[in-house]
Amino acid sequence: MLDVVIVGGGPAGLSAALVLGRCRRSVLVCDTGRPRNYASHAMHGYLTRDGMPPSEFLAVARRELAQYDSVELRHVEVTSAECQPGGHFKVTLVTGEELESRKLLVATGVADKVPDLPGFADLYGRSVFHCPYCDGWEVRDTPLAIYGRGRRGYGLAVELTAWSRDLVLCTDGPCELDDEQRGKLERNGIRVHEGRVARLDGEDGVLQHVVFESGERLPRRALFFSTGQEQQSDLSLRLGCEINEKGTVRTGQYEATHLPGLYVAGDASRAVQWVIVAAAEGAEAAFAINTDLIARELR
């Protein structure tokens, strides 16, 4: 019987494993190596780690965990998890192996719904981004495009006024905006282009033009998109967790869920989806897990 199984070896999962390892808890971290920021060349906004490549960050974290002999990291997928009578969990790996743990932390994060546009993949992570807080500084005061419709596209366009005033919202069809939203964008100099997007043209990873089916070419230096996201893993859903309108898990204090002993941390649980926040959520969940285990162990 393990103390904790952590599903997901990103910032949240590894941060939780570090705290729990220092609490002398037996921990297994299961990870498949598919992080949300796989295309990113650098992460930002993390004090002391600003500009560090995400792969380097994870490598450093794994090395730090190696000194805690009660923490094991395995490259393996968790295919199912069930709450058992008595409140512990049974976890099944893709290998067929079954494990039991007193607590379960899901830290698998989310995956962006990436637009299926020619040229997008070649530019993703270098001049096509989803988070202005992560990458807006690097393209500040340059011509930017926003890709998205309705509330998502509108919200991202308004947000990006902090980084540039040369903004065009490309909705790739009907914009799905009401008159009030259109008016606010117009008053703030944000153009709306409803033409169908044919492709993105760039060179050496740098966006040069958004090309429309009409043949029009819109010069832009970078593009930010908001087309929705989904859970990387459906474990939380299968365990009965509630998903909010943004597609993340509703959690309470210290990342606890409706199910005693089940915690969800990182991008899977909160609206502010930054690496530093995910790491903090993992640490909070670990604190709550260890506190509850101590209470149960006391005579």
* Reported confidence tier of residue 268, pLDDT bands at 50, 70, 90: low
Average pLDDT, the chain: 93
* Reported confidence tier of residue 269, pLDDT bands at 50, 70, 90: low
Identity of the amino acid at 11:
P
**CATH 3.50.50.60 applies to domain 114-225:** yes
Question: Per this entry, what is the length of the chain?
Answer: 299
Q: Which of 32-41, 78-87, 193-202 has the lowest mean pLDDT?
A: 32-41
pLDDT at 270: 64
The arithmetic mean of pLDDT across residues 100-117, rounded, is 92
> Residue 65 and residue 282: Cα distance in Å, rounded?
14
> Residue 70 and residue 19: Cα distance in Å, rounded?
12
Kindly list the distances between the CA atom of residue 267 and the CA atoms of 61, 236, 254, 278, in Å, as whole numbers in the listed order. Answer: 18, 13, 14, 6
Q: Residue ranges per domain, the chain?
A: 2-111+229-297, 114-225
Above 70 in pLDDT, residue 222? yes
* Reported confidence tier of residue 240, pLDDT bands at 50, 70, 90: confident
From 18, 186, 222, select the one nearest 105 (Cα to Cα). 18
The arithmetic mean of pLDDT across residues 22-46, rounded, is 91
Q: Confirm if 17 and 71 have CB atoms less than 8 A apart.
A: yes
Burial class (CB in 10 A: 0-12, 13-18, 19+), 240: exposed
Write out the DSSP string of 24-70. T--EEEEE-S--TTTT-S---S-TT-TT--HHHHHHHHHHHHTT-TT
Three-state DSSP class for 282? helix
Above 90 in pLDDT, residue 234? no
Class of domain 2-111+229-297 as given by CATH:
alpha beta
* pLDDT per residue as tens digits for the range 125-184: 999 999 999 999 999 999 999 999 999 999 999 999 999 999 999 999 999 999 999 999
pLDDT at 27: 98
Between residues 256 and 83, which one has the greater pLDDT? 83
Three-state DSSP class for 273? coil
The arithmetic mean of pLDDT across residues 35-53, rounded, is 89
pLDDT at 33: 86
Domains 2-111+229-297 and 114-225 share a fold: yes
Percent of the chain at pLDDT > 90 equals 80
